[in-house]
Structure 1
Amino acid sequence: MFDLRRSDVALLQAVSDHGSLHAVERGGRMTQSSASRRLIKLERRLRTPLVSRSSTGTELTEAGHALLHAGRRLVGAIDFAMATSHHRTDTRERLPVVQFAVGTERAYGMGRDLADRFPEAVFDVVPGDSRDVWQRFERYAVDAACGWETTRRPGLRRSEALVRTVVDEPQWVALPRDHPLARQETLDLHDLADAEWVATVGGDACDDQGWAFSLLSPAPRVSFTVRSQSAALELVGRGYGVALVSPLSPEPEHDLSLVLRPLRQRLVRRLTLAVDPLVVPLTLAHELCTWLRYGYAQRAAKRNPVYAASASFPPLAEGPGRPLRARPEAGASSPGARGPLPVLLSELHWTGPDSDSHFEAEHLHLLRVIDRIGSLNRAAATLLVTQPALTRRIHRLEKGCGLPLVYSTARGTSLSAAARRLLDCTGPAESRLDELVGRMRQIAAAQSAGVPAASPIGAPIAPPATASPAASRAAACADERSNSVSASVNPPARQGPGRCRERSAGR
């Protein structure tokens, strides 16, 4: 197991929050030079850069954000097990708090609908446009995300995430009602080459609009630029041009001055749901995707019945997947008759290095070795320490956390119930950290061997190919020539094999 300490997690968190090592020194945890040395040590152990330094400050790389997320998960799981050691309920009776990033257009009122439909989790809805949604998910700031992505701009690169396609939505064109092409049922994009456009900059539709403009020659004329589809629809209704919008864009009820028409060219954007399987179970993710599809179909039938009845409408679920939860009535049950509440489980509720917890991630490995071997003597040999030193270390841990961890039996040494519960709570987070560290080292090994590693940290990397014996001997000769002190700066372009054999024989 990789030894990631609480101070390392706090250091990465400070760099992520403030973008500078000065903040770590101002916080009083360590000096700037000590923080820099610790980061360099972490990077050498992982063989992967964790921070990028520039004139504007210090930022975490993709690997740094991934390591911070895995470390927070593990430290939070340890603190959860320690804080709930008195909890007599089953460890499975937990209520996860899921940070859910969604688009701004569907965030309003979504929290109550999620609470009614999925009582086994609490969804903390974080609104934003699609760029912010995927950026939050890529940097492990949220546990789940639902947003738009296009073929020109894939929104997700985390391979360990569970990804589900909610719907593939074609883009439509909004025109003024008195436009000459408004009477046609379907429009061709080239028929709008001479029209003036209302362009949407930023947000979800920017890439789709840029792709549509690239298909027109010469470049279309843009009369005005806005940042939202609602403003674009308002300008189209006033006669300032045409705009590329979603077929579910609500038409103004008080103003029927515009129409929506489909395109023959299929400009599709995809609504994608991505979840962290460590937080959101697979069954819950599947039911959440089904519920989102049903909600899209309901909105389409209400806002644009023509689109919902067209052949281009994607096949979606007919039902929401599960019935609504019945809300408890006021005064139906007395407070005394209520059972024990489930334990809240959230990554945000982790304790920093200033807490009284003496338990580190390396101590989990110690307990797992003792549990696997069943003897302190043999476990000490495996851990490369003496048996008295291991005993003293366990006593210090028990005194620090206030819980018995091991006890002696006739057959050897066994873990206590509190220690087994600790390993059970931290198992998934520990496995996630080990997988991440192994993936980082595999990518570093592939890059050092000359294999191009274009995939991100979350993508698997194939092992490097084994070189042939002839290539290995040639590489050995080349290394020997480069390490020789008497080698010339510009060696001859062609070297005979006899020179290598002579040096080998001389040694």
Structure 2
Amino acid sequence: MYIESELRAELRAELNSIAGRDECRTEVLAPFSRAELALLDAVGQCGDLAEVARRTGTRHGSVERRLDRLDRAVGTPLTLRGGHTARLSTAGSRMLAAGRRFFHQIDLAARTHIFGHGSEAVDAPEVLSIATTEPLPDQVVEDAAATLGLLLSVRHHSPHQAVAELAGYQVDAACTWSLGPPREPVERATRGHHILDDPLWVILPRDHPLAGHDQVSLGDLREENWVSETGPGAEVLVARVFQAAGLPAPARLQVTGASVARGILRRGDAMGLGSPTHPAVLAPSLVRRSLVERPRRTTSLLVDPTIVPRSLAARLAALIADSHLRRFAERHRDLLHESWWARWYAEQSGRRPGTTAPGAERSPGVPPGARKLDVEDLHLLRAVARHGSINRAAAVLSISQSALTRRIHRLEQDLGARLLLRSPRGTSLTGPARRFLRQLDRSEGEFQDAALTCRSVDRAAVPYRPVRRTRQPAPSAT
């Protein structure tokens, strides 16, 4: 125990020395071990410091000290404490999400480069943050929890904002639409999963001259007042639909947000487009009519494949599609009387894959219960890679060569993977271990960017001042 604690102290000294040479890069990563991330997670879940101490297997005073140390390391308060309670600050919530993603990416990089498996995510996240262009029905959230074991944290945004949040690493998935085939309109690595082939109808005031027709043509409506929202890539839905039909965009077209567009439609001041996934408004003063041109758009679920396993994303997309189809059948039965819509509904319903039992989306990778790489392990490997040999790395870490070799050998045994190449010329990292470290650099950069953003925002609002705890004088005897 003493040797282990001494080694930990020596490693911390090495981290501090590295931080002196490269402050922005290391000071954020160093304190965030898996145990300390679990501490922040416990604060976010319960808020009572005594319960946090129980969950993390530490004492109340140790919890306070560890939280203070995290605040100092990041340079901004991650928790807001008072008495025996604590809760995460805005920066703390962001850092918790960034830390979860960082360690998830580390596990994935180890699975890919060290263990030689594919680059798909191994395990599903406990909570999936998703931005949607339409509020997800409660049934989707409940079904995801019941059948997939997945908790959804849903944000409702415009299509442009949803894609921007995915591109900015604020969410791990986005449910959005595009005109044409599913695509991935962000630089971040994403994978698209088809939800629905989404036909559009027109919403007319009930007293409109064409409201009595079963079908209407876009050409007959070009001179009318229209309202539309902006989609991904700043596309205006109504304008693009007219252009796809070979017609110029309506001259009287108002482009606005989704909520304002609904209000304009409800008042009957303009007409707009709706669909099974975007029904806009239902009101006695409005009617829905099919369009002769049969315009369509594609709704998709875009996910980060390093966070969300492929099979899980496919089943989540199927759940979302099923909910839209059920809502369409319940609210728009009048359209189902038309043969075209009835055929479309039957085709889309027949394509929905079935769901499987919870946990079936997990693929083989690191053996269950195997040790996972933590921050200090990463810095040990980095030291060997940076200095080229065990001898030089041990000297920089101020420990003996044999102690560093034993430590990495123990890590190899715990992981069940080879990390070192031993030869008469010396000892160095294996090729897979080096590739893993290169992937680590990219993941760490994202983590640091999130931390520095949190710190800069909070400092702009209120400069951070570490809490100084002073011993209270004992009450004098009377």
Q: TM-score by structure 2 length?
A: 0.52
Letter paired with 1:277? P
Aligned runs of 1:458-497 on 2, under 5 Å?
A: none
Matched, 1:389 2:392: yes
* Aligned twin of 2:222: 193
TM-aligned CA deviation for residue 165 of structure 1 = 1.4
Separation in 2, partners of 1:397, 1:149: 59
Separation in 1, partners of 2:378, 2:180: 44
Matched residue SS, 1:183: coil
Matched residue SS, 1:315: helix
Identity percentage of aligned residues? 22
Matched, 1:417 2:413: yes
Of residues 95, 114, 136, the one that matches 1:107 is: 136
Return closer, same or farther for 1:74/1:10 CA change in 2, 3 Å cut-off.
farther
Matched residue SS, 1:310: helix
TM-aligned CA deviation for residue 141 of structure 1 = 2.9
Could you tell me whether the CA contact under 8 Å between 1:104 and 1:129 is conserved in 2?
yes
Letter paired with 1:291? L
TM-aligned CA deviation for residue 181 of structure 1 = 0.8
Of residues 183, 187, 206, the one that matches 1:177 is: 206
Letter paired with 1:274? L
Deviations 1:180-233 (A, max 9, x none): 111221211111123222x234457962112245568676343766422x6545
Matched residue SS, 2:125: strand
Matched residue SS, 2:220: helix
Could you tell me whether the CA contact under 8 Å between 2:132 and 2:157 is conserved in 1?
yes
TM-aligned CA deviation for residue 303 of structure 1 = 2.0
Return closer, same or farther for 1:29/1:219 CA change in 2, 3 Å cut-off.
closer
Aligned runs of 1:200-215 on 2, under 5 Å?
A: 200-202=228-230, 207-214=236-243
Return closer, same or farther for 1:208/1:184 CA change in 2, 3 Å cut-off.
same
Aligned runs of 1:300-311 on 2, under 5 Å?
A: 300-307=328-335, 309-311=341-343
Deviations 1:71-100 (A, max 9, x none): 96369738x99xxxxxxxxxx996623443
* Aligned twin of 1:458: none
Separation in 2, partners of 1:286, 1:153: 14
Deviations 1:125-181 (A, max 9, x none): 333222122122223332222211224995524584322211121221111112111
Q: TM-score by structure 1 length?
A: 0.49
Matched, 1:316 2:333: no
Matched, 1:269 2:297: yes
Separation in 2, partners of 1:286, 1:432: 31
Separation in 2, partners of 1:238, 1:278: 45
Return closer, same or farther for 1:76/1:303 CA change in 2, 3 Å cut-off.
same
Residue ranges of structure 1 left out of the alignment (5+ in a row): 13-26, 31-68, 82-91, 326-341, 344-349, 352-356, 370-381, 408-413, 438-507
TM-aligned CA deviation for residue 115 of structure 1 = 1.1
Could you tell me whether the CA contact under 8 Å between 1:116 and 1:324 is conserved in 2?
no
TM-aligned CA deviation for residue 436 of structure 1 = 9.6
Letter paired with 1:191? D
Separation in 2, partners of 1:428, 1:137: 30
Deviations 1:45-74 (A, max 9, x none): xxxxxxxxxxxxxxxxxxxxxxxx999636
Deviations 1:22-54 (A, max 9, x none): xxxxx9989xxxxxxxxxxxxxxxxxxxxxxxx
Separation in 1, partners of 2:437, 2:299: 27
Aligned runs of 1:98-247 on 2, under 5 Å?
A: 98-107=127-136, 109=138, 110-119=140-149, 121-151=150-180, 155-158=184-187, 160-197=189-226, 199-202=227-230, 207-214=236-243, 220-222=250-252, 226-228=256-258, 231-247=260-276
Matched residue SS, 2:162: helix
TM-aligned CA deviation for residue 259 of structure 1 = 0.8
Separation in 2, partners of 1:171, 1:428: 52
Letter paired with 2:302? A
Of residues 4, 8, 15, the one that matches 2:25 is: 8
Letter paired with 1:126? R
Kindly report the root-mean-square deviation, in angstroms, between the aligned alpha carbons of the 2 structures. Answer: 5.2
Q: Aligned residues, how many?
A: 318
Letter paired with 1:220? P
The structure with the largest alpha-carbon Rg is 1
Deviations 1:395-441 (A, max 9, x none): 7499999x96245xxxxxx7553455897xxx89965954997xxxx
Return closer, same or farther for 1:398/1:422 CA change in 2, 3 Å cut-off.
farther
Matched residue SS, 1:184: coil
* Aligned twin of 1:405: 407
Separation in 1, partners of 2:434, 2:218: 50
* Aligned twin of 2:8: none
Return closer, same or farther for 1:361/1:158 CA change in 2, 3 Å cut-off.
farther
Could you tell me whether the CA contact under 8 Å between 1:166 and 1:289 is conserved in 2?
yes
Separation in 1, partners of 2:101, 2:280: 45
* Aligned twin of 2:315: 287
TM-aligned CA deviation for residue 118 of structure 1 = 1.0
Could you tell me whether the CA contact under 8 Å between 1:114 and 1:123 is conserved in 2?
yes
Separation in 1, partners of 2:74, 2:198: 50
Letter paired with 1:194? E
Separation in 1, partners of 2:349, 2:433: 32
Letter paired with 2:210? L
Separation in 2, partners of 1:398, 1:263: 76
* Aligned twin of 1:363: 381
Separation in 2, partners of 1:210, 1:73: 41
